[in-house]
Every structure is written in structure tokens, then in C-alpha cells.
Homo-oligomer: A and B are copies of this chain.
Amino acid sequence: MRPLILVTNDDGIYAPGIKFLAQVAAQFGDIAVIAPDKPQSGMGHAITINSTLRIQKTDYHNASLEFACSGTPVDCVKMAVNHLLQKKPDLVLSGINHGSNSSINVIYSGTMSAAVEGSLEGAPSIGFSLCDYSIEADFSQAEKFIQHIISNALKNKMPSGVCLNVNIPKLRAEDIKGIKVVRQSKANWVEKFDVRKDPYGRDYFWLTGEFVNFEPEAADTDEWALNNGYISVVPTQTDMTAHKYLNELKTFE
């Protein structure tokens, strides 16, 4: 029996990135696409609890099951696994995101939060992102690597509760050096609010920021891998406990 692969994203069900990912996934199994009906970038692990959800059948991906959902990426995974699908997916794929989700971006990213939610639902899950924000980004350059990663995830059981954060550098196929399994870089965003006046003279704000890598030389990190021509794969989990400080912080007891 062909595996059941759930495909979702955060750029919305009509984004080129998910179109490409669904096509690659269809080489490996039956695909179900349940994704947001509009862009949901930066939604992190948000879920919809103060309002209601809608779903709408679509046929953009020629999938066996396909719905646009009014909620967040995490809502989409919950809706798929707990309501729309007849059985648990063998693999959850999220992306391909238009833009990087390396390093600290993992906690802001709707793409990665969907993958994290997949792993919480007990399914092997992978989030893919291409370091190119353009709507015309060329996802095909990394196709053989994406195939390799999907194929490997289907063949080798992934550790329970762990998903993969895969980021792809913006390079031509022949310039991608390979895949590196690495840790999340220590980095951060330094924000700047762009203040503007609306036509009525009132201030409004755009959130903007600059990415700062605190350890650019650390070769075991995703940022280093990406900056040196590699696809980065970070095993990602949901225990946020800072285990090494448990003892030190007993002072709070």
C-alpha cells in the first residue's frame, strides 16, 4: 500500500512552494493537502480557540483529499489528523516555505509549527524551507535532495516526538554541496518598528528586523551549513525545558 502523506504549509494552499512539494510527495505516496486558505507566515504555534474554523474543498493539487482551511498551519494539521483523514498519515510534510526557517525562526514559523504539530500527533514530520522569499523562487534546484530526505524518512523510522527542520540554500543544483544534520544556531532578531502615518494622521507600525547570528563560526549549526552551501537538517523537539538549569534554579523553591 502506498504511504499516506499529508502536505501543508503556511504560505497558503495556492503558494508555489506547496505546489512543488505536493508534486514531489506524490512520487512517494497518496497525498492529502490541507493547508491555510490565505498566507499565515509568522503564526508560530498559534491555534484558533476564540473563533470558529471553516474548510473548503479545492482541486489545485490533484490530491485524493484536498481542503483549504481558514485557520493556522497548526489548525490545519489538527483538522487533517483528527477530522478529515481516515487514518494517521505516514508522513507530514510542511512547506516548501518561501524564506528561511533556520535557527530561532523555528519558533516564529508557521511552516515548522505545522511539522512540530505533526510530530505531536505521532507522525514523522518534516518542514522544508528555501532561503528565497521570492514568489518566483526555483524550488526544483533541490528536488533530488528533497526526494532523498522524503525517501529516507519513509524507510527509516524517525524517533518519536522529533521532526526535521530542513532549510535549503538558494543555490543551483550543482552548487549544493550536500546535506548536514546540525543543531539550531544561537541567533536572534533585532527589531525595528517602521512608524508611518495613516491618511487620518494616526501612527501605525510595521514590524521589521535584522537577523543576528551569535555564533557564525560554529560549523555544527544550521546557519553555518546554509552559508557554506549545504542543506541543513535540524532534528527538532517540543521539550522546551532548560534541563541543565534545573538544579541551579532550585533557589526558587
Chain A residues within 8 Å of B, Cβ to Cβ = 39, 41-50, 52-55, 71-72, 74-75, 78-79, 81-83, 104, 106-108, 113, 116, 120, 148-149, 152-153, 156, 158-159, 161-162, 164, 178-184, 186, 188, 190-193, 195-196, 202-207, 233-243, 245-246, 248-253
What distance in Å separates the Cβ of A6 from its nearest Cβ neighbour in chain B? 15
Q: List 24 A-B contacts (CB under 8 A).
A: A43-B46, A44-B47, A45-B107, A46-B108, A47-B108, A52-B204, A53-B205, A54-B204, A55-B205, A71-B207, A75-B207, A78-B207, A82-B190, A82-B192, A107-B113, A107-B240, A148-B252, A181-B249, A181-B252, A182-B246, A183-B239, A233-B252, A235-B242, A237-B240
- Contacts of A41 on B, CB cut-off 8 Å? 49-50
Closest 9 CB pairs of A and B: A44-B45, A237-B242, A235-B242, A44-B44, A53-B205, A183-B241, A46-B46, A42-B49, A82-B191
